């Protein structure tokens, strides 16, 4: 039995499957990775100038425009065969799959995985830069238009709902991801370089808890050593075959 057949059989036998996806999966749908997106007009900027609270405070309009461009690209992108395979699997075997993603787009959700755990936030959502002091808090979606929008009363600015450099992951999302890693029988790590922590540590956590870990990636990743098996290929190529059973 070849490696692909072994993984297919393991998925079919698993009652608790955790899938961790990274930027490579979105790239197959035409969404550039963070580094690749820093081209053209944006190539002269340091990443910290466009993806940090300090960079936002220094030039809010510039950072807002950068994210407006990225948001437009996400809206145009469509789920690829890998996203659709995961969505179809979740519908076919309810309660088995927990999907954890490092991606900030909504392609998994549009493909049917509405409960995906988004470790790095959601690029299409907004929240206030400063905590709203009102009870209940004001809705950032109701802010006065601008670059960025502001609260018409207090001037609080709106920022994209993503995790920036130097920020902690959303505690509830990280806890849910760690629980899924510790509880799963099988983890698939798809389209990630394994360079971004703490997400990269979920594979070793799953393995320590007794799960089998399989990495799906066209190139080497920094966590290949954590895997029981490594399949070379893209998400759109491999996932429809592996999840079809």
User: Are the C-beta atoms of residues 21 and 119 closer than 8 Å to each other?
Assistant: no
Q: How far apart are CA 166 and CA 82, in angstroms?
A: 31
Q: How far apart are CA 126 and CA 156, in angstroms?
A: 12
Q: How far apart are CA 138 and CA 5, in angstroms?
A: 52
User: Are the C-beta atoms of residues 99 and 148 closer than 8 Å to each other?
Assistant: no
- Looking up tokens 């905590």, which residue turns up? 131
Assess whether 120 carries a catalytic annotation: yes
User: Are the C-beta atoms of residues 175 and 64 closer than 8 Å to each other?
Assistant: no
At 99, list the tokens: 């999907």
User: Are the C-beta atoms of residues 111 and 79 closer than 8 Å to each other?
Assistant: yes
Catalytic residue among 83, 108, 120, 127: 120
Q: How far apart are CA 149 and CA 155, in angstroms?
A: 9
Within the chain, strands assigned E span 17-21, 97-101, 117-118, 121-128, 158-162, 186-190, 212-216, 229-231
Catalytic positions: 120
């Amino acid at each position: 039995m070849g490696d692909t057949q072994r993984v297919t059989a393991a998925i079919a036998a698993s009652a608790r499957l955790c899938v961790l996806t990274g930027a490579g999966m979105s790239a197959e749908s035409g969404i550039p990775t963070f580094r690749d997106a820093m081209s053209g007009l944006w190539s002269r900027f340091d990443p910290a100038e466009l993806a940090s609270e300090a960079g936002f405070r220094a030039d809010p309009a510039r950072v807002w425009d950068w994210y407006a461009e990225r948001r437009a690209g996400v809206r145009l992108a469509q789920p690829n065969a890998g996203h659709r395979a995961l969505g179809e699997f979740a519908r076919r075997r309810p309660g088995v799959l927990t999907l954890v993603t490092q991606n900030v787009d909504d392609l998994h959700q549009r493909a049917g995985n509405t409960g995906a755990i988004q470790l790095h936030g959601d690029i299409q959502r907004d929240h206030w830069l400063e905590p709203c002091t009102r009870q209940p808090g004001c809705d950032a979606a109701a802010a006065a238009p601008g670059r960025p929008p502001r609260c018409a009363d207090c001037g609080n600015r709106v920022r994209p709902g993503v995790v920036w450099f130097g920020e902690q992951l959303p505690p509830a999302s990280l806890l849910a991801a760690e629980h899924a890693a510790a509880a799963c029988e099988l983890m698939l790590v798809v389209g990630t370089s394994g360079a971004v922590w703490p997400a990269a540590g979920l594979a070793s956590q799953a393995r320590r808890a007794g799960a089998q870990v399989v990495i799906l990636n066209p190139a080497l990743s920094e966590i290949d050593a954590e895997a029981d098996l490594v399949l070379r290929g893209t998400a759109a190529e491999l996932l429809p075959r592996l999840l079809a059973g």
